Structure 1
Amino acid sequence: MSTWAPGTQYNVGDVVEYEGFKYKIIQPHLSQGDWTPNVTPALWGRLPPDYVGGGGEKQGGGYQPAYDQPQQQSFQDERPPFDQQQSGNNWDEHQHQKVDIPHEEQKKNWWDLDDAAKKKMEIGGGLAIGVAAIGAGMFAYNHHQKSEEQKKAAVWALQRWLREGQDRTENFYRNGPSAPTTWLLVHGKSFPRDLIAGGEEGGQPLYVCRAFHDGSVQVGKAGANLDTGAVVGYGHKEVSVEQYELLVGNPNAVRWVEVHGQLKLDRLGARPVEGGHEADGTPLFIAQAHVENGIHPGKISEKLHKAFIPYGGSEKEVERYRVLCYN
């Protein structure tokens, strides 16, 4: 077990010591000086005093967490019950989550929660993880273009994406793959093994990624030559992301299918691999196309007449492309 330090990449399963207490990672991230474990419960969970064990280790380029360790104690357990708490903070001013979120409500869209549940989340910091993620530069929106309710819905959606990605990643490293492909949550350039190749540029491999952006989950590319590790396309722009998911799996279980023009799933002749989705729920699939002197992954849907490939600060529209499908 190591002492917490700024400027360090922490991943699933890592355990640190800070000011005499032990903490276990909740969300993978690159630490900053003001993100100490005691003030960032969205990132760290405090462990019980009798906890014995160490953090995970990185081996062979992929993270191998030690899941035989005792279960972490949730920070909610150390706080008084919700009905005993008083809070004058606005919904986006909480540093701590003081309310448990029922599992069935975590799966709902913000608009599907009843008013009582929404108020409980707002007062008790139920949007705290999403707000912390916004502060980490993972999510952007124009304040003047969205109502308060739209902002809450977007933060809630981001929070759900993070939870689902964390659960899926932890389950993968604990139990191994349960499907031909899996999306794993990563930060920066912490690349796992068994990545699905999405293309190449200048002799450097590019991988298939996806990330949350403005209420949607957009498909893009990741690689060691990219500043933050990955980019996605959105609104005809190339958006750099630090927290994203990478597609891993068995390369023999998938293949690229040639497409020209608008995508018609009933004519594809194969089942496309799950990609992301637009804010309105429209499914996005994984595309691949030649752009300049490279091959780059991007997105396609049945509503788009061409594939959209993030490249050179914008999105390139390509009429001839390939779609990643299962064999």
Structure 2
Amino acid sequence: MTPPFQQQGGYQSETVVVEERREEERGFFDRPGVKIAEGILGTAAAAGLGAFAIHEWRERKRHDASTGMPAFTEYQTSRGPILGRDSDGAPLFAARASIHGGWHIGKARDGHQACISYGGKEEYIKGNFQILCGAASGVTAVPQGGALNLQGLPSMPLDAGHEDNGEKLFIGVVDYKGSVQVGKVGPAMNGINFGYAGKEENLTTYRVVCAL
């Protein structure tokens, strides 16, 4: 059964897995009372955040100026849409990393480590990875089976990665052993590949994350 869309503790739909962030999980610049005017560092400078705050503000402005579609950022921040839940209930975010000439998609529980499935294993990557940032309201999850059929989707999936030969990879989510895992899917793949307990797993039924 497809996990429902969870918002403020209530279940509102039977078709979407992404979740809006709770107040305590929001990024620094989303919190009440923290305002940054155009061209002025404001509160962040007063707090002594310096170059980090300036860069994060610029990243945020870049995302806001886009089409509204979530985008990957090199900052290890848990400000993105929650796309899954681990077996212990911890939120999972989409992550990607460069591995052997490709950009491969996996999951991150926080901003310190990503878990990417590759070559039959679950690779644990620290530092050199990106996390999907943006609002959960900008994405949805569409059921699929087997190879990803791009022509059959109501909207385009998020362009998230590629194999070393250039084949496109997209974000997928799947129910597995009481959890909702985040992995990679594509037209050249038979289902979704994702990391779990140190191994690369594959299931043929999954959901692909698309832009609204």
TM-score by length of 2: 0.70
Contact 1:218 1:278 in 2 (8 A): yes
Output the CA distance in 2 between the equivalents of 1:282 and 1:172: 28
Contact 2:98 2:129 in 1 (8 A): yes
| Superposed counterparts of 1:141-152, under 5 Å | none
Instruction: Tell me by how many angstroms 1:269 deviates.
Output: 2.3
Q: How many residues align?
A: 164
User: Cα RMSD between the aligned structures?
Assistant: 2.6
Q: Deviations over 1:19-59 (max 9, x none)?
A: xxxxxxxxxxxxxxxxxxxxxxxxxxxxxxxxxx999629x
Q: Kindly tell me: are residues 173 and 302 of structure 1, through their superposed partners in 2, closer, same or farther at Cα, counting changes over 3 Å? A: same
Q: Which residue is 1:18 aligned to?
A: none
Q: What amino acid maps onto 1:236 in structure 2?
A: G
Q: Are residues 318 and 181 of structure 1, via their aligned partners in 2, closer, same or farther at CA, if it must alter by over 3 Å?
A: same
261-270 or 210-219, which moves further after superposition?
A: 261-270
Alignment check: 8 A CA contact 2:117 2:200 kept: yes
- Is residue 63–residue 71 contact of structure 2 (8 Å, CA) maintained in 1? no
Structure 1 partner of 2:25: none
Q: CA deviation at 1:318?
A: 0.7
Residue 214 of structure 1: aligned partner: 100
Q: Is the 8 A contact 1:258 1:322 kept in 2?
A: yes
Q: Determine the C-alpha separation between the residues in 2 that align with 1:280 and 1:274.
A: 16
Matching residue's letter, 1:240: Y
Relative to structure 1, the CA distance from residue 173 to residue 290 in structure 2 (aligned partners, 3 Å threshold; closer, same or farther) is: same
Distance 1:296 1:286 in 2: 11
Counterpart in 2 of 1:177? 64
- The partner residue of 1:249 within 131, 134, 138 is 134
Q: What is the aligned-residue identity percentage?
A: 26
Change (3 A) 1:199 1:192: closer
Distance 1:218 1:325, change over 3 A: same
In 2, Cα distance between equivalents of 1:174 and 1:251: 17
Higher strand share: 2
Check 1:177–1:324 CA distance in 2 against 1; reply closer, same or farther (3 A cut).
Answer: same
Relative to the length of structure 1, the TM-score reads: 0.46
One-letter code aligned to 1:295: V
Which residue of the partner structure matches residue 259 of structure 1? 144
Equivalent residue for 1:191, pick from 77, 90, 99: 77
5+ residue gaps, structure 1, are 1-52, 68-168
Normalized per residue, which structure has more helix?
1
Identify the residue that residue 171 of structure 2 maps to in structure 1: 286
Alignment of 1:263-282 (within 5 A): 263-282=148-167
Task: Describe the SS at the equivalent of 1:263.
Answer: coil
User: 2 CA distance for matches of 1:56 and 1:281?
Assistant: 43
Query: Contact (CA 8 Å) 1:257, 1:325: kept in 2 or not?
Result: yes
Q: Structure 1 CA distance, aligned partners of 2:156 and 2:61?
A: 28
- Matched with 1:203 is 89
Q: Give the structure, 1 or 2, with the largest relative contact order (CA under 8 Å, sep 6 or more).
A: 2
Change (3 A) 1:192 1:264: same
When Rg is computed on C-alpha atoms for both structures, the one with the higher figure is: 1
Correspondence for 2:120: 236
Q: Does the 8 Å CA contact 2:63/2:70 hold for their aligned counterparts?
A: no
Give the 3-state SS of the residue equivalent to 2:59 in structure 1: helix
Note the C-alpha offset of 1:173: 3.8
Q: Aligned in 2, Cα 1:280/1:293: closer, same or farther, shift over 3 Å?
A: same
Residue 293 and residue 192 in structure 1: after superposition, are their counterparts in 2 closer, same or farther (change >3 A)? closer
* Structure 2 unaligned spans of 5+: 1-44
Matched, 1:223 2:109: yes
Cα distance in 1 for partners of 2:78, 2:90 equals: 16
Amino acid at match of 2:104: Q
Q: What secondary structure sits across from 1:65 in the alignment?
A: helix
Aligned to 1:66: 54
Is 1:317 the equivalent of 2:202?
Answer: yes
For the residue of structure 1 that corresponds to 2:151, the secondary structure is helix
Q: Is the 1:55–1:65 contact (alpha carbons within 8 Å) kept by the matching residues of 2?
A: no
